[in-house]
Amino acid sequence: MIRVVDALGSPVELEGAPRRIVSLVPSETSSVAWLGGIDRLVGRTRYCVEPAAVAAVAEVGGTKDADVDAVRALEPDLVLANQEENARPVVEAMIAAGLPVHVSFPRTVAQSTEYLRTLATLMDVPVDVAPIEAAVARCAPSKAVRVFVPIWRDPWMTFDGGAFASDLLDLVGAVNVFADRPRRYPLAADLGKRKALEGDRVKGRDTRYPRVTLEEVAARQPELILLPDEPYEFGAVDAEALRALGTGAAIAAVNGRDLFWYGARTTTGIDALRELVDAHR
């Protein structure tokens, strides 16, 4: 019997090592493959594209709209989901259908490493996290760089200090200029146009992804702006809009997977971001 407790505090019990795994999270699909389990993957989302070999695995929809019936038809021994990436009603429907679902929610590099250990336990395979620990050890920045990272626009959106990407940036010596800025509700309040809701009216809402104005970005005085290619693919037009703020910040493109993919991708992400930030220190 294999038993772990997931991010929801729910026990996940398997009679043995799962032979049929459905992953609803791109980074977790990559982690399953990294742990030698690519032959066990029988289902994935359309966004699960790494490594290339997963192209042969059946698609079950997207991260937000996975087809519950399609997943059930694959008769999985284990379904991998994430509290943030996957729509709650979809995950709850799979659990209600009796599927063995593990829900993750790592928000720091340390929790990402622990997630890998948990996944290895679920798969009943050994795991070597030494490469991740070595990448962490290589991070010894002498001076912090103030960084802004948008994740969406119209409206512009970023993340606060409670997001995985913020902890990753902190590790490599980059200060998230919006680390202390929670999301406010409704949108008009987030954009400074009305008073924010308080108390029970916002209880339980996720405040880690604030919507911000360009004026607010300028006021935070970033030294470096990183433009990822996911979840929104920023380009030259976006760079020009940010350059027009006149902050003098350097602007660089960054692979979104290096910033936002936890698990097996963490080693690559740490090294790539450390080198990028060091180049602008």
Tell me: do 61 and 102 sit in the same domain: yes
pLDDT at 132: 94
Confidence of residue 41 (pLDDT cuts 50, 70, 90): very high
pLDDT at 205: 87
Tell me: do 59 and 167 sit in the same domain: no
Tell me: do 94 and 157 sit in the same domain: no
Task: Work out the burial of residue 31: count CB atoms within 10 Å of its CB; fewer than 13 is exposed, 13-18 middle, 19 or more buried.
Answer: buried
CA distances from residue 5 to 81, 122, 268 in whole angstroms, order as listed: 13, 10, 28
In the block, tokens 């991740």 appear at 132
Taking only the tens place, the pLDDT of each residue in 66-118 is: 999 999 999 999 999 999 999 999 999 999 999 999 999 999 999 999 999 99
Structurally, the chain folds into a number of domains equal to 2
- pLDDT of 265 over the 80 cut: yes
pLDDT at 200: 84
CA distances from residue 166 to 66, 106, 180, 186, 214 in whole angstroms, order as listed: 28, 12, 11, 23, 20
- pLDDT more than 90, % of the chain: 92
pLDDT at 203: 85
* Contact criterion met (CB below 8 Å) for 117 and 104: no
Taking only the tens place, the pLDDT of each residue in 220-254 is: 999 999 999 999 999 999 999 999 999 999 999 99
Question: In DSSP terms, which residues pair with 81 in a beta bridge?
Answer: 103
Please name the residue ranges forming H helices in the chain: 26-34, 68-73, 88-96, 109-123, 130-137, 164-171, 187-190, 214-220, 236-243, 256-260, 266-279
CA distances from residue 260 to 59, 94, 186, 215 in whole angstroms, order as listed: 22, 25, 26, 26
Confidence of residue 142 (pLDDT cuts 50, 70, 90): confident
Helical (H) or strand (E) element with 175: strand 174-176
- pLDDT of 12 over the 90 cut: yes
Tell me the CATH number at 93: 3.40.50.1980
Write out the two tokens for 82.
């994430």
Helix (H, G, I), strand (E, B) or coil at 1: coil
| Domain hosting residue 174, numbered range | 133-279
Confidence of residue 36 (pLDDT cuts 50, 70, 90): very high
Tell me: do 219 and 106 sit in the same domain: no
| 129/236 Cα distance (integer angstroms) | 37
Asked which of 72, 99, 127 is the last residue of a domain, the reply is 127
